[in-house]
Amino acid sequence: MADEDLAKALKMAHGRTMNFAFVRKGGTGQLLVDLRKIPVRDIKVARQELGGGIVLMGTCTGPLNGMVFEVTKEPPSSSSSILRKVIKEEAGLNVLPEFRVVEGDAEDELQEVELQE
């Protein structure tokens, strides 16, 4: 069954910038999308459910057939295909994600440090 909240949030990204956190481990993952910054506790819960993994955080915007996910660090090469698969499975949407590396701010780096602890 599709996650209606995730599908709605991804569709909202067409007209505005949304925040996201993508927790991935191996060939699977979990995507969190919201207007507000994703709370660290929610990301930690997602990591626990997956048994660990890496976290990609940033903003996303654009249409479903070319959604841009902006991050501050270069993601692993397979992240786009895994994210596409996760969105299809979780939200029931066909999204063509593209990761772009942009300048980060100190707050984003601080949040990433908190996640690693």
Whole-Å CA distances, 95 to 13, 65, 82, 84, 105: 12, 5, 11, 6, 27
| Tokens found for residue 96 | 């063509």
- pTM (2 d.p.): 0.86
DSSP 42-108: HHHHHHHHHTS-EEEEEEEES-GGG-EEEESSPPPTTHHHHHHHHHHHHH------EEEE----HHH
| Tokens found for residue 47 | 């990591």
pLDDT of 108: 57
The pLDDT tens digits for 78-96 are: 999 999 999 999 999 999 9
The pLDDT tens digits for 32-58 are: 999 999 999 999 999 999 998 899 999
Mean pLDDT score of the chain, rounded to an integer? Answer: 88
Domain boundaries, the chain: 4-116
pLDDT of 1: 42
